[in-house]
């Protein structure tokens, strides 16, 4: 499979040369339908788009001809004509985190409901090279709008810009005020989690944080710290994982050696690993140590013990992203605010008052 891809943004300097094979079977066009129905192709267009000014009898004829011939509008021609692809691009680094996946799913569903398709643009790990390729193509991508499922500053790091005139919305990240943001209310989630533990009587709460580069992780951590400070609690050392259950386990072994009685993990997967580490050290959850997670992954209800966690409304985030990006597409609105989607705590069996 040879490839002809622009390597250089703005300029085109492709390598291999293989003309695409001849276009596949010519499909049924409006002209064909028009001939069959004995009308002009413009009338077919009108019927196809539901415009008025077509008498019922004619309409029927056209509809019949369409059915007989199996006519399908050609979206390339449509897009060329209208300048719209009816497609939204979603740029993301990976589908390995629950959040991204569920948000993507919600985006796809909402977009479909609006008659828009979703093009997924995966960007490999932030290696300069990999990113570059993916983004370069973006300019010529058949996309009317873009939803970024990643931190905007990573985009900068890659030294790339989105094409002008394409509405962009950022989900679950920061955006340097350049684009509007739809985000889970990370701060409120953290606060709720920590407060829940404090209310149970824990003297303070240890935080198993996400990676430093993650904006969401950063905000969860900040809110944890602030909540403790506001409550006049001592702020313990931060432990840091990389979102994976395994990192939760590794870091969890350190936490298990401390006298912590309450841990707030920045996501459920790390909480899973943490709970294993605690169990292996003979510290019972929730009797000896309480644990709260973040995300409310479907599995959390089957963790041992079922995890108390902060439920994120990914569906709502996705829905709002689509809504906002389409609104900007139509109106060209320009307020770069941040919209927060509320969260709620789901109390299960991993939290209890501290051992007396």
Q: Which two tokens stand for residue 138?
A: 């973006």
Residue 129 is a binding residue for a copy of itself (CB under 8 A): no
Radius of gyration of the chain (CA): 26
Interaction mask 335-354, a copy of itself, x per CB under 8 A: --------------------
Look at residues 239, 351, 345, 347 and name the one whose alpha carbon lies nearest to residue 285: 351
Kindly indicate which of the ranges 171-179, 200-208, 215-223, 275-283 contains the residues binding a copy of itself, using the contact rule CB under 8 A: 275-283
For a copy of itself, give the closer residue by CB, 85 or 191.
85
Binding site for DNA (CB under 7 A): 19-20, 26-27, 29-31, 38-43, 45-46, 48-49, 51-55, 57-59, 73-74, 77-78, 80-82
Interacting partner of 154 out of a copy of itself, DNA, none (Cβ under 5 to 8 A depending on kind): none
Between 79 and 198, name the residue whose CB sits nearer to a copy of itself: 79
* Residue 105, burial from CB neighbour count under 10 angstroms (0-12, 13-18, 19+): middle
Among 99, 189, 217, 273, binds a copy of itself (CB under 8 A): 273
User: How far is it, in rounded angstroms, from Cα 283 to Cα 185?
Assistant: 32
Q: Nearest approach, Cβ of 32 to DNA (angstroms)?
A: 8
Give dist(CA 262, CA 245) in Å, integer: 18
CB of 96 to DNA, least distance (A): 35
Spatial distance between the Cα atoms of 87 and 220, rounded to a whole number of angstroms: 33
**29 versus 327: smaller Cβ distance to DNA:** 29
Residue 122, contacted partner among a copy of itself, DNA, none, CB below 5-8 A by kind: a copy of itself
CB of residue 323 to DNA, shortest distance in Å: 23
> Any bridge partners for residue 87, and if so which?
117
Q: Does 125 bind a copy of itself (CB under 8 A)?
A: no
Q: Is 304 in the site for a copy of itself (CB under 8 A)?
A: yes
State the Cα–Cα distance between residues 77 and 48, nearest whole angstrom: 14
Contacts of 49 (CB under 8 A, 6+ apart): none
Among residue numbers 46 through 85, which ones bind a copy of itself (CB under 8 A)?
A: 47-52, 63-64, 66-67, 70-77, 79-80, 82-85
Tokens of 160: 């790339």
Return the number of the residue (226 or 253) whose C-beta is nearest a copy of itself. 253
Which tokens hold the place of 284? 């019972």
Element (H, E) at 294: strand 290-295
């Amino acid at each position: 499979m040879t490839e002809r891809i622009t390597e250089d943004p703005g300029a085109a300097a492709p390598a291999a040369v293989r003309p695409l094979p001849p276009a596949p079977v010519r499909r049924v066009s409006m002209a064909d339908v028009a001939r069959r129905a004995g009308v002009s192709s413009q009338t077919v267009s009108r019927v196809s788009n539901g415009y008025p000014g077509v008498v019922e009898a004619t309409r029927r004829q056209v509809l019949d001809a369409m059915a007989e011939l199996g006519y399908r509008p050609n979206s390339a021609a449509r897009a060329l004509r209208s300048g719209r692809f009816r497609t939204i691009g979603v740029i993301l680094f990976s589908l390995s985190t629950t959040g991204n996946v569920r948000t993507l799913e919600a985006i796809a569903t909402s977009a479909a409901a609006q008659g828009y398709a979703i093009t997924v643009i995966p960007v490999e790990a932030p290696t300069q090279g990999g990113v570059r390729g993916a983004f370069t193509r973006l300019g010529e991508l058949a996309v009317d709008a873009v939803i970024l499922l990643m931190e905007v500053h990573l985009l900068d790091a890659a030294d790339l810009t989105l094409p002008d005139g394409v509405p962009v919305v950022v989900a679950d990240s920061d955006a340097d005020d350049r684009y509007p943001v739809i985000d889970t209310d990370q701060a409120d989630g953290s606060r709720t989690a920590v407060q829940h533990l404090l209310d149970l009587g824990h003297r303070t709460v240890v935080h198993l944080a996400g990676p430093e580069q993650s904006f969401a992780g950063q905000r969860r951590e900040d809110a944890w710290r602030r909540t403790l400070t506001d409550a006049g609690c001592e702020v313990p050392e931060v432990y840091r994982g990389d979102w994976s259950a395994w990192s939760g386990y590794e870091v969890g072994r350190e936490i298990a050696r401390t006298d912590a009685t309450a841990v707030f993990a920045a996501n459920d997967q790390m909480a899973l690993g943490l709970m294993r580490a605690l169990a292996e050290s003979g510290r019972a959850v929730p009797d000896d140590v309480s644990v709260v997670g973040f995300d409310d992954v479907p599995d959390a209800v089957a963790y041992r013990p079922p995890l108390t966690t902060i439920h994120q409304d990914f569906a709502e985030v996705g829905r709002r992203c689509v809504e906002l990006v389409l609104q900007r597409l139509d109106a060209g609105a320009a307020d770069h605010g941040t919209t927060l989607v509320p969260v709620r705590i789901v109390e299960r069996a991993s939290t209890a008052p501290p051992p007396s």
